[in-house]
A and B are shown apart, each in its own frame.
Chain A
Amino acid sequence: MAAMASKAPALLKSALDGAQPKFQTFLRYAKVELAPPTPGELGQVSQGIQRLLSGFRTGRWKQLTVKEATLNTLVFTEVVCWFFIGECIGKRSIVGYKV
């Protein structure tokens, strides 16, 4: 037990070193995919919203393929899930409000 405890810092360091490349690849993707939109892209945001609304009005949504529709549903679900993650962060608990 004492030998394990004495090796713990070395184990931790080697674990962190092993995780570094994985972390670097994660950062590489996160910087492009997860970053918040730059102010320059906000114009595209409003364009996208306009396109969504006009597509809904013209009835183009009735001509989507099922595959497109499922992809859109998945993306929408993922975006909505961020709201619930934010709520968990705000209430500082995973399940339920601890009052």
Chain B
Amino acid sequence: MSTAVELPAPVRVSPLIKFGRWSLLTVGILYGMSRHRSLAKKEAALREVEAKKQAELAPKLAAEKARLSKQELDDLARAAGVTVTN
């Protein structure tokens, strides 16, 4: 396997291109980190607000759900001809 073809010599890349690549890489990493941090902060604040709203609405939603399911069961019983005693 070591009788490979002669590999071409490495290309001498212009320093401007190398500088551009590495500087854009670091700028990209910093930009990604800073944007991630700011977005995570905003999301945490939003999550708190939504949790509070959900806590307020929860009893109302539960009551509505119970009422609808009782309505369904009553309709089913009427359709099946069963008398409900409760």
Interface of B is mostly: helix
Mark contacts of B3-21 with chain A using CB atoms, 8 A cut-off: 1 yes-contact digit, 0 otherwise.
0000100111111111111
- The tally of residues in B whose CB lies under 8 Å from a CB in A reads 34
Mark contacts of B36-47 with chain A using CB atoms, 8 A cut-off: 1 yes-contact digit, 0 otherwise.
100110111000
CA distance A28 to B28 in the complex (A): 27
Task: State whether the Cβ of B76 lies closer than 8 Å to any Cβ in chain A.
Answer: no
Tell me which of B2, B28, B31 contacts A82 (CB under 8 A): B28
Number of A-B contacts (CB under 8 A): 103
Tell me which of A28, A75, A82, A97 contacts B10 (CB under 8 A): A28
Known contacts A36-B22, A82-B21, A92-B36: does B14 contact A48 (CB below 8 Å)?
yes
Contacts of B28 in A (CB 8 A): 82-90
Contacts of B11 in A (CB 8 A): 32-33
- Flag if B12 contacts A32 (CB, 8 Å): yes
14 pairs from A and B in contact (CB 8 Å cutoff): A31-B10, A32-B12, A33-B11, A36-B19, A82-B22, A82-B25, A83-B25, A88-B28, A90-B30, A90-B34, A91-B36, A92-B32, A97-B36, A99-B44
